[in-house]
Amino acid sequence: NVALFVFGDSLFDVGNNNVLNISILFKANFPPYGETFFRYPTGRFCDGRTIPDYVAHYANIPYWKPFLDPSYQNFNNGTNFASDGGTVLPEDNIETLHALPVPCLQPGANFVDGANFASAGAGALEIHSGVMNLKMQVTNFKKVASSLAQKLGEAEAKKILMRSVYLFSIGGNDYFSFNTGHAKATQSEQRDYMHLVIGNITNGVKEIYDIGGRKFGFQNVGPLGCLPMIRAQHPELNGTCVKSLLLHATLHNKALPNSLKKLESKLPGFKYSVFDYYNSLGDRIDNAKKYGFKEGKIACCGIGLYNARNCGVDTVKFKVCKNPKEYVFFDGGHTSERTNYQLANLMWSGVPNVTGPYNVKQLFELS
């Protein structure tokens, strides 16, 4: 198998944050999360499987445990580094995270099919103390690469890393944070911040490339201003999307492929894929019935306006819909398993104007 290494935020997190001593806001290890497929909460911010779960399945990689899971010693089939709240840029004091033991890096650990490092709340910057931002996820990847080299030898490890696919979902939390703290930012300030985020992403990519990575897949930033939790924060807009957040996302999404194209021209063997998550999800929000959903704007699980808050929090009387498959969103900020299935198919085998210049299936097939 070609290995799959996953980096990102809560959209890709499979439970890394379960291990961290952080706010419940950045965890999904309680019901009703996981009810549709796993039948128990795994730490995924979904009723079932996430987009990278489906990608791994299509690539013949079994469902993985999170990278930080103490019981996880077999990485033959990949691991997930993503974290909820994950950001791109480094800002907060996170010394405690740097001191975390990595229980999976034991003599019996095996990473030849990849790893998932994603952490809910993560981003390109360190905007949330305690979660694993992109820089820390890349650091964890380097530990895995070193482990592979010790186990298999430098040459064989390099072959595995060069064949591997590296999948990213990062940036949204950075723009949430900036929009909250800089509501009156000028367009120039917004662009400067966007370039900082993109710069940190490309720096992470170059670090992985230097170790051996060649094939990189990206999910661009979604329609942030149209999430139920954002609509609920702005009742004065009567259900319309928050334009400032949409602007952040569109600026980012225009810059990302341009930056990757520049990397391709400078780095021999570098190949990339960008999935248009923004428009693919946005179309399902606006035209839910077209895609087999009954509801595109209200979440399945939560309380309050748009059912956007406190899904699974046992101190409040949250509501859960009877059939999550009818909803685009499972909670106020995360899509349902059915939505993830549809989006994963587009990422895996979509046409170039949806996922390009390569789709992820083609990345796996590249020698």
| Active site residue ranges | 10, 331, 334
Secondary structure letter of residue 321 according to DSSP: -
How far, in Å, CA of 218 to CA of 7, rounded? 10
Pairing mode, if any, of strands 355-357 and 301-302?
A: unpaired
Phi-psi region of 324 (alpha: psi -120 to 50; beta: other; left: phi over 0): alpha
d(CA 285, CA 88): 26
Number of C-beta neighbours around residue 203 at 10 A: 14
304 burial type by CB count under 10 A (0-12 exposed, 13-18 middle, 19+ buried)? middle
CA dist list (Å): 113 to 35, 162, 267: 27, 12, 24
Reading the block at residue 253, the tokens are 């999404």
- How large is the greatest C-alpha to C-alpha distance in the chain, in angstroms? 60
* CA triple 282-287-290, angle to 5 deg: 125
Q: Which residues contact 360 (CB under 8 A, 6 or more apart)?
A: 55, 165, 167, 217, 273, 275, 347, 348, 349
CA distance 128 to 20: 13
Find out whether the peptide bond into 32 is cis, omega within 30 degrees of 0: yes
